[in-house]
Structure 1
Amino acid sequence: MKVTRILMIVVLIGAFFSSPGFAEESPPFSMAPVIGVFDAFPGEELDVPVNVTNLLNESLSGLTVSLVWKAGDVALTANETLSLGPSESTIVHLRVKVPLLPPGEYPVKIEGKFGNFTLERSVAVRVEKLIRYSLSSDIGGFYTAGWDIISHIQVISKSNVPIQGTVRVFVLNGNESVVSSWNFTVSIDPGMKWSEMIRIPSLDAGNYTLVILADLSNVSQRLEKSFKVMARKYSYSAEFKGGVILVKVSFADGRPAKDIEIWINGTTLYTDENGEAVFVPPRQGVYLVRLNLDGVIVTKLVDVKCSYSYRAWYENGSVWIRVTDENGSPVSGIRINLLGQTLFTDENGLAAFRVNQTGVYEAELYLNHCTEKVSVKVDKLLVVHEVSADVLVLTVINSSGSPLPNVTVVIETFSNGTLSFRTNDDGKIFIPLDKLGSKKFVLTAEAKGYLKYSRIIDLSTLGKTSTSPGKNTTSTSTLPGGGGEKSQLPDLKTILVVVLSLMGLAGSSYLALARPHVVEEELDRYYFVKLKAPRMRPLLNFRWERGMNAVEVRAKRGKVRIEGSRVIWEVDELKPGEEAILQVLLG
């Protein structure tokens, strides 16, 4: 019995030492990496193929092949367990994700284990330089106008080397115009992040886009994020009150809205701390009021009406202003400022300001709650006179040389009393000489809007240079007159005298009808030349030249110029009876 036990122990020991998993002299499997060196970037999956072969004539079960990668604090492993039949070979793929390591070559161990038998092999992984990062912002959704917007900008590095460069941030409105911008210089270590808070000033209502442009270590990225700004709820009013246009703006809860932009009649206003803005209208009328409520433009029409009417004109040496109410009745006590004077309208609604010079005069009227401004132009008129065929022709013109119709001209003669006339549509008056009675008289012309014109006219000086106030020259010849007594039958001598007289009369009349008519007159700093073509033929190649100190010249017909101290006027052609006027401003 004892011997039997000893034999069994010997058999068991022999069986143990003959097991394929433990026989050192005959390894149960072989293992070899297919590739010895790998190139990879951080974040990529590393696939290491390993060839494993069963060296036994019997199956292997529970064979483990592992990858072990240790680099500093990084430890990665991958395991595969397999079963192989007798003499069977296979390829095992061991996969791991390449960690964020600095560029360089790193050893990786491959380990195979079956029971107590272990094989080790190694491969090398060369980690390449990687520049990679991501951009982010927490902006988005809806915001309320009137408040600043806070956004956090972030750059996360996924590079295995430090990166640096610039980060630019823009806010674009719906028209893609930049409304805000920021610039940052950034430096980030591998695997780290950079963040910055930006404050976007209050925006008007509308759609916007936040754009981030990054250029780090020569790698560029762009991020766009949209958001919307909603307008606040307002209430507003605009009315004419107390002589001003009063605009009020408040929030929905009744709080005054400050710094609201308002446009009225080309003027920009902003509401004060009470939510109010005041505009003084310069005159009556309808005014458009525009309000910018967080980018939403609203409008309102305001009718400015003072319930008063007024009229202003120049007459009889004064600027007259008349004020009436809505019924047409005169209003007294209205304050009016003009030329530094202050007057009040009388019981007829009138105020008169004495004016004796030309110009444009602006009056300011205070019509209760309205302030109105009105301008009155005061010009001068001139009267050019000439005699043609026993008729005095008067032409009334303004300072520009244009004829003035409907002007009252009064002539005070020394024998026939006072005569009154009115110019026709061409600004002319025709007066037979016998109606005047004498050749010397006082001429006065008046019209609304013009200074009074008054001169002493002496027709006996026509054809000569007259004394002040003006110069008058004419080339017209007067007709000889005859008169007389009741005659008896003429004798031969008398007949001869009559025939010769008739011949002279016919000749002078023909000359009056066949030659041009020129009238010159000087008034203050103005010198006028009036040219009229003959009645029987056209006037060709007319030339007028005079020495004078001229500053400016103007002619309705022909060409006029200043050469040194002389004025030259040339007219190519005038039709029979046609007129032309030259105006010279003297220095």
Structure 2
Amino acid sequence: MVPKYTIEGHVTNKQGTPLGGVVRDVGGYTIVTDAEGYYQLTELTAGNYTLVATHDQYDFTQKNLTIGKNHPSVIDIVSNGFVFYTIAGHVTDKKGSPLGGVVIEVGGHTIVTDENGYYQITNLTAGNYTLVATHDQYDFTQKNLTIGKNHPSVHNIVSSSLALYTIEGHVTDKNGQPLAGVLIEAGEHTAFTDENGYYQLTDLLANKYSLIASLAKHNFTPRKVTVGFNKPAVIDLVSDGLTACLLYAVHDENKKYT
């Protein structure tokens, strides 16, 4: 009868915290550590083996061991540290054209795509993440992804549409009184203030605009505004004052005045 042997032990991180869910493989025999990091492999025949421990979040060094009479049966394992993963991909518009300058954020890691729309984020630990892409001129849908062993590392992103913005505000005179009926212009976009002096311009592309207000008998100084991601969306305007009305008296040869 061939003698059989048992090995057992605990798996921990460097701080001594037990690691559950670690897969242990010895010569084709596989088991998973419990919540206390404990494992036990039975029915092993004498011989030389390689003990392999794997876990999505932790790295381990393979361990060569000899199983048999007068050899250790307790084999504890300590993780080398976290396993780090890399994700990468390309960002394009709907036509497949690469988009440079797109900010990609995953779990606090941030990077900007190059001129080819390429990005790469390294040093990610295993887990569930939300990938967020932002750009002044394009909208993107957030993407939920799982990072770890046997999960995709390539995540391409396609813009859902052009980014459109809204600016709004109130128009008042110098005394703070609202001005109704003021025409507000930004490029080809126009709106009129309501009785509260409120206006709103929608569907603006990211760009620089000259914001122009006009109302009979009032002067306004045009405002230079930049519309886009993380730019001010509330822009209040104040009239410079009433338009001066100049009267002229002209003396003519017939002693008449105009």
TM-score for both structures, normalised by structure 1: 0.16
Q: Which has the higher strand share?
A: 1
Q: Indicate the structure (1 or 2) with the bigger Cα radius of gyration.
A: 1
- Which gives a bigger RCO, structure 1 or 2 (Cα 8 Å, sep 6+)? 2
